[in-house]
């Protein structure tokens, strides 16, 4: 519930029109509905979550085979166990940062005009979406904790010993921020619908970039040897300057101790900066978008 | 009754049960639902007997959920019954023999069977191939049907650009291209405007007479029934409640006539009220419900008071009769014994 | 048979007409699938930065491995073009009752349901797959013998047949259950196992997995057997998997057909 409080505050802080108490009541109703929905299809859900680990299983076998064929003890600083742990941890980060249906939902509501009701009702659209998403995610974790727990228990031997408290705190902070970053990036993307009629291609491009550069496919440290054409700058460094790696790679790397010390602190601040930038971008897009939209008469 | 004529559809003791799972409402109930899912059996159809002769046009009436659509789905072989038998054109529908499926058509008003993004002509061509229609015959039938409905110009336009009424007309053309002997229509006029409804009535009447097609129609519009059907079958709670002619329904189930009077002034209205018949006054008009047996006595009495400019005597509207009929049906929560559903009066 | 071919021709033509009506969308879909593919290829290239081979002594070095990937691309392109769009639509058909209209047609329902849509944009992947196959075969230590060339297309068809049967089984489950979101996820995840050489599934966990995906759901035969025939030297040992794949393809076609028929007999239809 502490998580809920934190994000709930963030949501209501964004708008003056949203009265905290009424807002909380709406949010609680939303939460209850989410829980009921999930429970009706819980069989599907637990099975679905477990199946989501299957691609990782193939990835793990692939890297095991790679390690079998090469004489190196590690690849880009990752032992085989590290790689297994890395993939499992990205599942956790993706559970926080991925926002299925968010940008397409926003774009659709702009296209079919249903966004109109948020212009007349005393509810801020983005805050409403954020609250709904928080509710959804909370319920998701409530049930997903069982399949996740099972998989992590079975795979416990791949993990290094439990890191120190500072690392765990940094990990949690990076997870929470990855949720916010994922949310506001996707929301901003959806709002491109104010300017472009057909946004599915943009969304696809985003998805590709996100999939590749977030570290979902492989630990981004592996890009360290790939030159970019700029002298002395590797692809890994470029990727580290972009926001995408916070949504999968970064929390996992923090937990595994691949990033630590001052570097870690700096990266956390950079992540926070990205969150703020994305909130501002989102606000601006909403503000300019709705103005443009009402000027065209919807 | 028509059962004596060469029966095209013969149904005996046809029943369909569904097992439905209760969706628990509320948080606690859904948590309990994790461990235990309760289900119950719903009897959509409880042992129906029916015979329909060649060339009959039968209306299947009943409130929502009465089992009409289930019945049509059984007759077209989409679903398999729990009990009972049915023969359509000598075939058991749910065996889905190609030979049978080539000889009937099913039109569902709420569903689109034409290709959405392509002109209807393309869907027609596909029909020709699926039903193996001889090309010359196909062209002739298509032109005839298209002209009858006045939609020749529309068949080259993508279906998505057409209005609901136009689409329905083209659906009917598609359904009749293979010259089916039996036609099942599930709410074909739903959502259509009066003009389109009228065109479709004319068309169906014509096709049915010309080709001796046997038609079963479900609808909620009594206009469809009045325009098309001599025979009416009423289904409620999965049983046949009434099977007979339309005229007979009116005879059997109406006790009153509606008398409408155009009045001169308020004095005439006051006189009417003093007579004490159930009476509703709307401006210069008075509407009375009079017992059918007493109409000959009542009418002179009403007119004697004077101040009446015009008078009309009508039957209670069909909608009202049917609504009353639906309401009168006793709900039977227990399993039905098939014998109680006696089809022919 | 010829009637079915001509009906399929009508379907294909109709889909092509529609694709050409929404040309921009069509191009976008091609680009989409090519994008995914390019990303995967980039990943494999990255992997080969760190190793000469996938698995010790398996023979899956760079050139054979890319022939393997190309084989998978070709098989998946065929499945995506011919069957997947129809299968994806089936959920919608079951939910809205559109399946009713299919069942009253005097035509085989399995044919209608699995082949009424053709997705031409997926052919783009197949073309790239063919190109990649040519590229990687030219880089093999020894070119594939004629007998491999002869049997390769047959095995490709067997792979398609196995995947098609899997789709039909899932379609049957859809008809019985009324909805199937996680079932199509299941398809995605289970076929995911076929993306890499079977040799990587080794060890106490991999062994049973490999056995299950070979003998229970023969998903590992789909890409592996044709790819091995074309990209690895043929030995006396090579013929057992070939015979097994042909047998598995036939058996799965028959079994899936039976399951599908029994699902249709139990179809409930959407209430309306």
| Cα angle value A253/A258/A264 (rounded, 5°) | 80
Residues 6+ apart with CB under 8 A from A221: A76, A77, A78, A236, A253, A258
State which residue of chain B sits closest to C267, comparing Cα positions. B79
Count structural domains, chain B. Answer: 2
Q: Sign of the C-alpha dihedral, residues C87, C88, C94, C100?
A: negative
State which residue of chain B sits closest to C17, comparing Cα positions. B118
Q: What is the pLDDT of residue C33?
A: 86
Judged by average pLDDT, the poorest of A234-243, B19-28, B238-247, C54-63 is B19-28
Determine the straight-line distance between the first and last CA of chain C, rounded to whole angstroms: 35
Same domain, B104 and B179: yes
The phi and psi torsions of B43 (rounded to 5 degrees) equal: -90, 100
Read off the CATH number of the domain in which B228 is found. 3.40.50.300
State which residue of chain C sits closest to B171, comparing Cα positions. C101
Beta bridge partners of B40: B20
The phi and psi torsions of B215 (rounded to 5 degrees) equal: -120, 135
| Cα angle value C204/C207/C212 (rounded, 5°) | 130
- Decide if B337 is inside a domain: no
Helix A54-69 to helix C181-192 angle, to the nearest 10 degrees? 10
Helix B194-211 to helix B164-176 angle, to the nearest 10 degrees? 10
State which residue of chain C sits closest to A211, comparing Cα positions. C39
Residues A224 and A234: their CA atoms lie apart, in Å, by 6
Interface test with C, best of B23, B104, B111 (most C CBs within 10 A): B111
Mean pLDDT within B121-149: 93
CB contact, 8 Å: A36 with chain B? yes
Same domain, B75 and B129: yes
A270 is in which domain, residue-wise? 2-295
Q: How far is CA B25 from CA A30, A139, B36, C161, in A?
A: 15, 17, 14, 44
Pair of tokens at residue C121? 């944009």
Q: What is the pLDDT of residue A67?
A: 93
Same domain, B57 and B130: yes
Query: Which residues in chain C touch residue B108, judged by CB atoms under 8 angstroms apart?
Result: 97, 100-101, 272
Pairwise pLDDT comparison (B331 vs A156), residue with the higher score: A156
Interface test with B, best of A30, A35, A37, A40 (most B CBs within 10 A): A40
**CA-based radius of gyration for chain C:** 20
Q: Is the pLDDT of residue B90 over 90?
A: yes
What are the pLDDT digits (tens) for C74-87? Answer: 999 999 999 998 88
Given the structure tokens 């580290």, which residue do they identify? A240
What are the pLDDT digits (tens) for C109-150? Answer: 999 999 989 999 999 999 999 999 999 999 999 999 999 999
Residues C200 and C204: their CA atoms lie apart, in Å, by 12
Note the ipTM here.
0.90
Tell me whether residues B33 and A40 touch, CB distance under 8 A.
yes
Q: What is the pLDDT of residue B34?
A: 56
Nearest to A55 among C189, C203, C206 (CB): C189
* C27 neighbors C124 (Cβ within 8 angstroms): no
* B260 neighbors B286 (Cβ within 8 angstroms): yes
Given the structure tokens 């057997």, which residue do they identify? C225
What are the pLDDT digits (tens) for A239-252? Answer: 999 999 999 999 99
Count structural domains, chain A. Answer: 1
Q: Measuring CA to CA, which residue among C144, C167, C132, C161 is closest to residue C221?
A: C161
B218 is in which domain, residue-wise? 2-14+47-251
* pLDDT tier at B147, thresholds 50, 70, 90: very high
Question: Residue A79, SS3?
Answer: coil
* C104 neighbors B77 (Cβ within 8 angstroms): yes
Q: C60 — alpha (psi -120 to 50), left (phi > 0) or beta?
A: beta
* B159 neighbors B115 (Cβ within 8 angstroms): yes
Tell me which residues of chain C have a pLDDT lower than 50.
Answer: 272
Q: Measuring CA to CA, which residue among C79, C74, C78 is closest to residue C134?
A: C74
Read off the CATH number of the domain in which B285 is found. 3.30.70.790
Interface test with C, best of B130, B157, B220 (most C CBs within 10 A): B130
Tell me which residues of chain A have a pLDDT lower than 50.
Answer: 1-17, 298
- Burial bucket for residue C233 (CB in 10 Å: 0-12, 13-18, 19+): middle
How far from the centroid of its chain's Cα atoms is residue B194's Cα?
17
Same domain, B306 and B167: no
Tell me whether residues A35 and B30 touch, CB distance under 8 A.
yes
Tell me whether residues C6 and B129 touch, CB distance under 8 A.
yes
Same domain, B261 and B237: no
What are the pLDDT digits (tens) for B160-203? Answer: 899 999 999 999 999 999 999 999 999 998 888 999 999 999 99
Question: In the complex, which subunits touch C with 3 or more CB pairs below 8 angstroms?
Answer: A, B
- Decide if B341 is inside a domain: no
Q: What is the pLDDT of residue B266?
A: 77
The phi and psi torsions of B119 (rounded to 5 degrees) equal: -65, 150
State which residue of chain C sits closest to B114, comparing Cα positions. C101
The phi and psi torsions of A216 (rounded to 5 degrees) equal: -70, -35
Question: What are the sequence ranges of the domains in chain C?
Answer: 2-265
Q: Measuring CA to CA, which residue among C99, C97, C76 is closest to residue C163?
A: C76
- Decide if B39 is inside a domain: no
Same domain, B126 and B171: yes
Judged by average pLDDT, the poorest of B76-80, B315-319, C74-78, C211-215 is B315-319
Residues C202 and C67: their CA atoms lie apart, in Å, by 22
Query: Which residues in chain B touch residue C2, judged by CB atoms under 8 angstroms apart?
Result: none
Tell me whether residues B130 and C100 touch, CB distance under 8 A.
no
Same domain, B274 and B232: no
């Amino acid at each position: 519930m502490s998580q809920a409080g934190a994000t709930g505050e963030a949501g209501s802080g964004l708008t003056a029109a949203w009265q905290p108490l009424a807002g909380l009541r709406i949010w609680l109703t939303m939460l209850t509905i989410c829980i009921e929905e999930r429970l009706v299809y819980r069989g599907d859900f637990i099975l679905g979550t477990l199946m989501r680990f299957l691609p990782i299983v193939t990835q793990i076998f692939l890297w095991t085979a790679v390690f079998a064929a090469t004489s190196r003890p590690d690849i880009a600083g990752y032992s085989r166990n590290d790689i297994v742990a890395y993939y499992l941890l990205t599942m956790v980060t993706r559970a926080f940062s991925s926002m299925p249906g968010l940008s397409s939902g926003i774009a659709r509501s702009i296209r079919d005009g249903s966004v109109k009701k948020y212009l007349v009702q005393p509810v801020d659209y983005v805050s409403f979406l954020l609250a709904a998403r928080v509710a959804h995610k909370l319920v998701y974790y409530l049930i997903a904790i069982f399949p996740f727990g099972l998989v992590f228990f079975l795979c416990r031997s791949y993990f290094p010993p439990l890191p120190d408290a500072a690392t765990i705190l940094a990990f949690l902070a990076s997870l929470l921020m990855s949720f916010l970053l994922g949310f506001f990036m996707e929301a901003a993307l959806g709002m491109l619908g104010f300017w472009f009629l057909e946004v599915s291609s943009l969304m696809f491009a985003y998805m590709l970039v996100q999939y590749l550069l977030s570290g979902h496919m492989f630990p981004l440290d592996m890009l360290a040897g790939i030159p970019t054409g700029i002298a002395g700058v590797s692809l890994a460094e470029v990727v580290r300057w972009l926001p995408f790696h916070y949504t999968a790679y970064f929390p996992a790397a923090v937990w595994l101790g691949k990033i630590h010390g001052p570097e870690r602190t700096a990266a956390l601040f950079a992540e926070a900066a990205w969150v703020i930038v994305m909130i501002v971008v989102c606000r601006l897009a909403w503000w300019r978008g709705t103005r443009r939209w009402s000027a065209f008469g919807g | 009754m028509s059962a004596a004529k060469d029966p095209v559809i013969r149904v005996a003791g046809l029943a369909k049960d569904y097992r439905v799972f209760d969706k628990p409402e509320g948080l606690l109930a859904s948590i309990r639902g994790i461990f235990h899912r309760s289900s119950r059996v719903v009897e959509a159809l409880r042992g129906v007997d029916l015979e329909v002769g060649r060339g009959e046009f039968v209306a299947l009436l009943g409130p929502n959920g009465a089992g009409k659509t289930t019945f049509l789905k059984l007759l077209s072989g989409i679903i398999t019954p729990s009990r009972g038998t049915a023969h359509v054109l000598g075939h058991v529908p749910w065996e889905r023999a190609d030979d049978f499926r080539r000889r009937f058509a099913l039109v569902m008003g709420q569903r689109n069977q034409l290709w959405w993004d392509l002109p209807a002509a393309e869907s027609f061509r596909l029909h020709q191939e699926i039903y193996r229609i001889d090309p010359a015959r196909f062209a002739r039938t298509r032109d005839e049907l298209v002209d009858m409905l006045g939609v020749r110009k529309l068949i080259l336009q993508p279906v998505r650009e057409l209005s609901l009424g136009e689409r329905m007309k083209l659906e009917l053309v598609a359904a009749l291209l293979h010259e089916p002997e039996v036609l099942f229509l599930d709410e074909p006029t739903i959502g259509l405007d009066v003009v389109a409804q009228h065109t479709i009535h004319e068309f169906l009447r014509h096709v049915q007479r010309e080709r001796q097609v046997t038609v079963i129609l479900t609808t909620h519009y009594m206009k469809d029934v009045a325009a098309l059907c001599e025979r009416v079958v009423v289904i409620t709670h999965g049983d046949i409640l009434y099977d007979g002619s339309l005229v007979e329904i009116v005879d059997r189930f109406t006790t009153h006539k509606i008398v409408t009077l155009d009045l001169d002034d308020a004095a005439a209205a006051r006189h009417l009220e003093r007579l004490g018949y159930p009476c509703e006054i709307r401006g210069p008009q008075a509407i009375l419900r009079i017992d059918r047996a007493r109409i000959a006595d009542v009418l002179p009495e009403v007119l004697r008071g004077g101040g009446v400019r015009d008078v009309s005597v009508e039957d209670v509207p069909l909608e009202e009769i049917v609504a009353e009929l639906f309401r009168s049906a006793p709900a039977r929560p227990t399993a039905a014994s098939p014998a109680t559903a006696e089809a022919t009066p | 048979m010829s009637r079915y071919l001509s009906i399929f021709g009508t379907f294909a033509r109709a889909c092509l007409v529609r694709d050409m009506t929404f040309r921009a969308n069509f191009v976008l879909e091609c680009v989409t699938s090519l994008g995914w593919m390019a990303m995967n290829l980039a990943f494999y290239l990255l992997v080969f930065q760190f190793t000469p081979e996938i698995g010790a002594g398996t023979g899956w070095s760079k050139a054979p491995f890319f022939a393997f990937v190309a084989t998978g691309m070709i098989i998946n392109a065929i499945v995506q073009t011919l069957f997947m769009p129809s299968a994806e639509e089936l959920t919608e058909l079951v939910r809205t009752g559109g399946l009713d209209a299919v069942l009253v047609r005097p035509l085989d329902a399995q044919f209608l349901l699995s082949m009424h849509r053709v997705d031409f944009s997926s052919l783009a992947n197949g073309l790239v797959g063919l190109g990649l196959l040519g590229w990687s075969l030219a880089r093999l230590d020894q070119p594939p013998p004629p007998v491999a060339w002869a049997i390769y297309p047959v095995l490709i068809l067997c792979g398609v047949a196995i995947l098609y049967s899997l789709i039909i089984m899932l379609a049957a489950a859809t008809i019985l259950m009324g909805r199937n979101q996680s079932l199509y996820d299941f398809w995605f995840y289970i076929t995911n196992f076929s993306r890499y050489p079977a040799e990587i599934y080794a060890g106490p966990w991999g062994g049973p997995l490999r056995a299950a995906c070979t003998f229970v759901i023969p998903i590992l035969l789909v890409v592996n057997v044709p790819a091995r025939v074309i990209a690895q030297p043929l030995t006396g040992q090579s013929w057992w998997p070939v015979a097994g794949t042909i047998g598995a393809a036939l058996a799965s076609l028959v079994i899936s057909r039976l399951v599908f028929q029994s699902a249709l007999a139990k179809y409930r239809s959407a209430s309306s």
